[in-house]
Amino acid sequence: MPFLENSMIVAAHADDEILWFNSIAADVDQVIVVYCDFWAHPDLGSARAASFAEYPRDNVECLKIDESGAAGCANWASPQLTNYGMALGVEANRRAIMRLAKKSLSMVAAYDRNRIAGESVLSAYRRNFDAICDALRPKLRADMNVFTHNPWGEYGHEEHIQVFRALEKLRDEIGFRLWISNYCTDRAMPLAQRYFRSEPADYVRLPCNKAFAEQVASVYKKHGCWTWADDWVWFDDECFMEAPREHSRDEPHRHLFPLNFFSIGDFPQRKGWLPLAMTATAASVALAATIAD
């Protein structure tokens, strides 16, 4: 197929490449995973590296950029895009306070400093955008077909959108063809609607490669770094289209392409943060802390 010539998947996290691109994951020339380590899960990076070593295909590479922990920090009811991804809201501020509380508590108690973020979520998220662009730029050429997360982050993931926006910027610089797939949830729909068009766009429909997806998933599960539901059921097919630009005008009839629409319920809270309900003493320590990022 012409759109798989000189092709690459750029996925945010290990397992994204088979969740959102499994119909082509065995056939593209290369798979690149962006993020690796995450401070809240100290063993995650090594588990992912072990999985890549047993991956059932060649040319799988990880950029080894640390996760920012931005998942769940944006306002998805009224999403705001930025040059580096999405605007982060109240949850990011709460996590910044939690981080200061942890650092303060680690000075007076036996608290594991290795499980404390080295900087705020917002600072890490902003810095990662440039890191992604710098790491990907030398790997991309104008004659390539690059597949990545859609502009609404499938189910609404801030780091998925950051990867898309980094590649959107690089597309403008380099001129490769940028493709997205058709997964979406109700959480992500307010942002997805900005990319609906007045005229239907061309797209390619392919059958999902469920056997390969299960093979890869079993490797991630073996090493304890499968991040998705164990009872996930693969869709029968996937659709791909060239990534559209954000569209703000309302039209009588607007189109995108057939969506693989699913529900995940409430957004899962990542482990590693202190509970919202801290003791008054801990909260006072956090607010009084003067340790800079």
Kindly report, residue by residue over 206-236, the tens digit of the pLDDT: 999 999 999 999 999 999 999 999 989 999 9
Phi, psi of 274 (to 5 degrees): -65, 150
pLDDT value of position 250: 64
Radius of gyration of the chain (CA): 20
268 located within any domain: no
292 located within any domain: no
Which stretches within the chain are classed as H helix?
Answer: 16-19, 44-53, 90-108, 121-136, 158-174, 189-192, 210-222, 280-288
pLDDT value of position 29: 98
Tell me the residue range of the domain where 12 lies. 7-262
pLDDT value of position 90: 67
241 located within any domain: yes
| Count of structural domains within the chain | 1
pLDDT value of position 270: 42
**7: which 2 tokens?**
């092709």
Contact between 208 and 236 under an 8 Å Cβ cutoff? The reply is yes
Please state, as a whole number, how many other Cβ atoms lie within 10 Å of the Cβ of residue 102: 22
Q: Is the pLDDT of residue 133 over 80?
A: yes
271 located within any domain: no
287 located within any domain: no
Kindly report, residue by residue over 234-251, the tens digit of the pLDDT: 999 999 999 998 775 666
pLDDT value of position 101: 47
Contact between 94 and 280 under an 8 Å Cβ cutoff? The reply is no
Kindly report, residue by residue over 48-105, the tens digit of the pLDDT: 999 999 999 999 999 999 999 999 999 999 999 999 999 998 676 576 556 544 444 4
99 located within any domain: yes
Kindly report, residue by residue over 251-264, the tens digit of the pLDDT: 677 888 999 999 98
Q: Is the pLDDT of residue 273 over 80?
A: no
132 located within any domain: yes
Give this prediction's pTM: 0.84
Kindly report, residue by residue over 27-50, the tens digit of the pLDDT: 999 999 999 999 888 899 999 999
The DSSP bridge partners found for residue 181 are 240
Contact between 14 and 62 under an 8 Å Cβ cutoff? The reply is yes
pLDDT value of position 247: 72
pLDDT value of position 116: 45
Region 155-180: what's the mean pLDDT? Answer: 98
Region 185-208: what's the mean pLDDT? Answer: 92
SS3 122: helix
What average pLDDT does the structure give for the chain? 84
Q: What is the dihedral of CA 109, 69, 228, 111, to 10 degrees?
A: -10
Kindly report, residue by residue over 57-69, the tens digit of the pLDDT: 999 999 999 999 9
What's the CATH number where 154 sits? Answer: 3.40.50
42 located within any domain: yes
**223: which 2 tokens?**
């090493």
